[in-house]
């Protein structure tokens, strides 16, 4: 009897333990993105600057309602623009409709250039609020105004309209709706079009043209691509009625012989003439054009070669098309596309160029006429300069973000600095712990600084251009979140697989976390190299991570070598020529280190998931380390980068140019150029599968083609492997309205394979509207 009793007690303990480790779907649903979004209001101040003034206005919402403020930095004052109840009462009287004074929903809100009239729209009628008298007056019906058509590109002063038709370029006068269409070109055709949609097959339909106007309205230019020889790709929208529809588009892949060829043309609307600029230099080059400022006598241009490691900066005389090379920059193994920037000062007298020539992205000043390097602007250390925020050409100062300069502050945080054009006067102006986003007044005397991090509550402050705080503007209201039991995620650091490089990450725990339990761990991944998987700004959801953690998981996202350009050139180019595998060892080693630190992490049940590049990486991890990862959910993955876009694979993995000389029967020599851009694929690892794999892909994904996932599925079938495959019908790359369905599909997938929790329900608990 005693033995039986012991067995029964043991069985009861096992049963209790199993019950305690069931996935908590109720908690996951409570803290899903759709529910959490209702608990958080404003997190940033977006200043709307008065014309020719340092004053600004903004709106901000807390659980007390929406307020409208005007701030005067000089007087150091912040006041409500109006009393909400009085405003709602006036509006109710004018519109004969009820208004919620706590949440005034004003459409088209804009301050007029008189800096006194706040204009908004109700039921197609304009209303005006006077900031001085505090009175609302009724204006005209907006239905009487001539509508701006989406096919029209207006000149800066709205004198002309340009548009495309039959793939050619047309112009008409903007002030006369019945004015004559003037045809400017005759060489446009499908896939070499002046239209934004180069593959459009309509004949007489007007469409938006690839036009950019100079600010003085004297000229405009068109940068169009010749894709006629580029091979086609197809997707089928199986949901179109009455029958599925084929979508055809041009798509260049790594190593393709025929890729888009770019052309640049400059037009004069008065003479109705145009010139084609001879921009040819590098084989299969990429070009980018930059307006000089207010005038149209010149245009600046960058040309980059196909291997993405050499470019030049040039200036074009728009009167005759003459092109002059100013300087060349070389950056092996490839240029960082994300932070590369060319700033043009005083109509081109000087240029500011971002370059990684020292291994860290920095700013350099050039003479705009000769191309001579004047000096390095950011010369005070080894750190990465990010986006330029503002330029003061009169005071010859530049304001910019930078990463990794301050000791003891996370190198992923964007901190704010300023410097003089000559490299002197370097000064930190916003270095409080967190990620800074700023908006500068036109005078560059003041700026609004929004600061936050995943573990730092968002705040907004007004500062002068030396970084001195003038006033605190707002702090995000987290009261409803905290009342619901929500908690901020945690930041952590560890070493990469080399045991030297510091890696940074974010951890999401269940809000009922119990340190005496063991939790499976799930890694959310994205390989980069343009960005890493974790956010640095404040987040209540972490994408899918907050809700997923509530099921009973530790969910982490972290960086790895090769993952981000804001660390250094070496760091973000680490994966070059190893595009499939470079991130995997660091993810595995980081998870091992976390388990070494925390005994509540169960390293026998490890999940991994990601989307797009993360879908590629999560499958690669499961197949490369089949004895480590237990389950992977891979959505829209570019598993075969040989059929992903040319730019991605050739830039980040590399492409080899091959030249072969041939002689014809008469002895004449010709040189044939070919390219080799092969990338290792996930399907080649299919036989390694031991764990559980969920593949999903949108059926009309015209970014990462569905065949990426299908090729993996095909090899898994050939290898006799069991796996799950879910097409997402009628969905593009981001899954659109089906994201909520996919999120819960992942919940069930990981609950089954990491917790052993199998459910038999059919219906999912999706938000309304899904």
Provide the phi-psi class of 308: left if phi over 0, else alpha when psi is between -120 and 50, else beta: left
For the domain spanning 489-640+679-755, the CATH number is 3.40.50.1820
How many beta carbons lie within 10 A of that of residue 707, not counting itself?
18
Note the pLDDT of residue 478: 97
List pLDDT tens digits, range 298-347: 999 999 999 999 999 999 999 999 999 999 999 999 999 889 999 999 99
Residue closest to 521 by CA, chosen among 532, 509, 535 = 509
Give percent above pLDDT 70 in the chain.
96
Cα 512 to the center of its chain, rounded Å: 33
Locate 618 and state its tokens.
């999560």
Strand partners, 141: 125
d(CA 621, CA 583): 9
Angle, vertex CA 311, rays to CA 560 and CA 679, nearest 5: 45
For residue range 629-685, what is the model confidence (pLDDT) as tens digits? Answer: 999 999 999 999 999 999 999 999 999 988 888 887 787 888 888 899 899 999 999
Asked if the model's pLDDT at residue 2 lies above 80, the reply is no
707's CB contacts (< 8 A; 6+ apart) are 640, 643
Which spans in 664-738 are helix H?
707-718
Asked if 386 contacts 438 with a C-beta cutoff of 8 angstroms, the reply is no
Query: Quick one: average pLDDT of 507-536?
Result: 95
CA atoms within 13 A on the CB side of 202: 9
Distance (Å, whole) CA 540 – CA 511: 13
Is 75's pLDDT higher than 50?
yes
Whether pLDDT at 237 is above 60: yes
DSSP 313: E
* Number of other CB atoms surrounding residue 140 within 10 Å: 10
SS3 annotation, 454-489: CCEEEEEEEEECCCCEEEEEEECCCHHHHHHCCCCC
Task: Give the mean pLDDT of 560-574.
Answer: 94
Residue 770: predicted pLDDT: 60
- Pairing of β 136-141 and β 153-154: unpaired
Q: Using a pLDDT cut of 90, give the percent of the chain over it.
A: 87
C-beta neighbour count of 468 within 10 angstroms: 9
- Per the structure block, which two tokens stand in for 735? 């899954």
Phi, psi angles (nearest 5°) of residue 738: -95, 5
Q: What is the DSSP string of 551-585?
A: TT-EEEEE--TTS-TTT-HHHHTTTTT-TTTTTHH
State the maximum Cα–Cα separation within the chain, in Å, rounded to a whole number. 107
Element holding 351 (H helix, E strand): strand 350-355
Nearest in space to 56 (alpha carbons), one of 84, 86, 81, 92 = 81
pLDDT in tens, 185-199: 999 999 999 999 888
Per-residue pLDDT band for 265 (boundaries 50, 70, 90) equals very high
In 258-345, at which residue ranges do the beta strands (DSSP E only) sit? 261-268, 273-277, 286-290, 298-304, 310-317, 323-330, 342-345
Rounded Cα gap, residues 588 and 407, in angstroms: 28
Structure tokens at 99: 């208004």
- pLDDT for position 270: 94
Domain range summary for the chain, segments of one domain joined by +: 48-144, 148-213, 336-453+455-484, 489-640+679-755
Question: Under CATH, which architecture does the 336-453+455-484 domain have?
Answer: 8 Propeller (2.140)
- Segment 106-147, tens digit of pLDDT: 999 999 999 999 999 999 899 999 999 999 999 888 766 566
Residue 19 is predicted with a pLDDT of 44
pTM (2 d.p.): 0.93
Say if residue 4's pLDDT is above 70.
no
Is pLDDT at 172 greater than 50 in this prediction?
yes
Judge whether 336-453+455-484 and 489-640+679-755 match in fold: no
Chain segment 581-620, per-residue pLDDT in tens: 999 999 999 999 999 999 999 999 999 999 999 999 999 9
């Amino acid at each position: 009897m005693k033995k039986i009793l012991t067995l029964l007690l043991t069985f009861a303990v096992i049963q209790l333990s199993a019950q305690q480790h069931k996935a908590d779907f109720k908690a996951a649903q409570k803290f899903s993105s759709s529910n959490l979004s209702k608990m958080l209001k404003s997190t940033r101040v977006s200043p709307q600057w008065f014309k020719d003034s340092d004053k600004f206005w903004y709106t901000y919402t807390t659980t007390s309602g929406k307020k409208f403020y005007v701030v005067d930095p000089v007087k150091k004052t912040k006041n409500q623009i109006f009393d909400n109840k009085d405003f709602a009462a006036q509006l109710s009287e004018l519109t004969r409709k009820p208004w919620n004074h706590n949440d005034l929903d004003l459409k088209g809100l804009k301050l007029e250039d008189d800096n006194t009239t706040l204009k908004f729209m109700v039921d197609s009628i304009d209303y005006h609020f006077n900031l001085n008298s505090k009175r609302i007056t009724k204006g005209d019906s907006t239905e009487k105004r001539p509508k701006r058509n989406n096919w029209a590109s207006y000149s800066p002063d709205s004198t002309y309209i340009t548009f495309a038709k039959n793939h050619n370029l047309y112009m008409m006068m903007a002030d006369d709706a019945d004015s004559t269409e003037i045809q400017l070109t005759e060489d446009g055709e499908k896939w070499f079009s002046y239209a934004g949609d180069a593959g459009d097959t309509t004949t007489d339909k007007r469409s938006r043209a690839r036009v950019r106007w100079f600010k003085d309205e004297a000229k405009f230019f068109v940068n169009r691509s010749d894709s006629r020889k580029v091979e086609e790709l197809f997707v089928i929208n199986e949901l179109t009625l009455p029958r599925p529809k084929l979508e055809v588009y041009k798509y260049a892949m790594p190593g393709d012989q025929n890729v888009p060829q770019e052309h640049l043309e400059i037009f004069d609307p008065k003479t109705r003439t145009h010139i084609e600029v001879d921009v040819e230099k590098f084989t299969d080059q990429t070009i980018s054009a930059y307006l000089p400022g207010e005038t149209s006598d010149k245009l600046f241009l960058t040309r980059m070669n196909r291997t993405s490691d050499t470019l030049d900066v040039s200036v074009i005389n728009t009167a005759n098309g003459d092109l002059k090379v100013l300087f060349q920059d070389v950056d092996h193994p490839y240029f960082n596309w994300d932070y590369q920037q060319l700033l043009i000062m005083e109509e081109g007298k000087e240029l500011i160029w971002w370059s990684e020539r020292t291994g860290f992205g920095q700013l350099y000043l050039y003479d705009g006429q000769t191309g001579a390097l004047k000096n390095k602007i950011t010369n005070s250390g080894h750190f990465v300069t990010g986006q330029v925020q503002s330029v003061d050409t009169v005071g010859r100062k530049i304001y910019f973000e930078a990463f990794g300069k301050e000791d003891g502050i996370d190198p992923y945080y964007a901190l704010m600095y300023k410097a003089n054009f000559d490299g002197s006067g370097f000064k930190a102006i916003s270095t409080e712990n967190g990620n800074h986003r700023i908006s500068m007044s036109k005078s560059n005397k003041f700026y609004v600084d929004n600061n936050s991090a995943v573990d730092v509550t968002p705040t907004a402050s007004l500062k002068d251009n030396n970084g001195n705080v003038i006033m605190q503007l707002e702090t995000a209201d987290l009261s409803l979140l905290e009342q619901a039991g929500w908690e901020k995620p945690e930041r952590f650091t560890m070493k990469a697989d080399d045991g030297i490089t510091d890696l940074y990450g974010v951890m999401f725990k269940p809000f009922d976390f119990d340190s005496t339990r063991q939790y499976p761990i799930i890694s959310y991944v994205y390989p980069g190299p343009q960005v890493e998987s974790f956010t640095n700004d404040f987040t209540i959801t972490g994408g899918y991570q907050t809700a997923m953690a509530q099921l009973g998981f530790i969910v982490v996202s972290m960086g790895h070598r090769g993952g981000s350009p804001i660390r250094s050139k070496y760091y973000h180019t680490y994966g070059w020529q190893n595009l499939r595998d470079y991130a995997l060892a660091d993810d595995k080693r980081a998870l091992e280190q976390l388990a070494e630190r925390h005994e509540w992490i169960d390293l026998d049940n490890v999940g991994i998931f990601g989307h797009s590049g993360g879908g590629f990486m999560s499958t690669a991890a499961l197949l490369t380390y089949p004895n480590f990862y237990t389950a992977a959910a891979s959505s829209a993955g570019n598993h075969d980068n040989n059929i992903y876009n040319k730019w991605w694979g050739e830039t980040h993995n590399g492409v080899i140019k091959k030249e072969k000389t041939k002689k014809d029967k008469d002895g004449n020599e010709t040189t044939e150029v070919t390219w080799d851009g092969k990338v290792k694929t996930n399907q080649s690892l299919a036989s390694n599968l031991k764990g559980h794999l969920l593949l999903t892909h949108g059926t009309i994904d015209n970014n990462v083609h569905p065949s990426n996932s299908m090729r993996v599925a095909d090899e898994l079938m050939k290898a006799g492997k069991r796996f799950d495959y879910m097409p997402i019908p009628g969905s593009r790359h981001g899954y659109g309205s089906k994201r909520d369905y996919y999120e819960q599909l992942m919940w069930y997938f990981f609950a089954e394979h990491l917790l052993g929790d199998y459910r038999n329900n059919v219906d999912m608990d999706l938000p309304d509207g899904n």
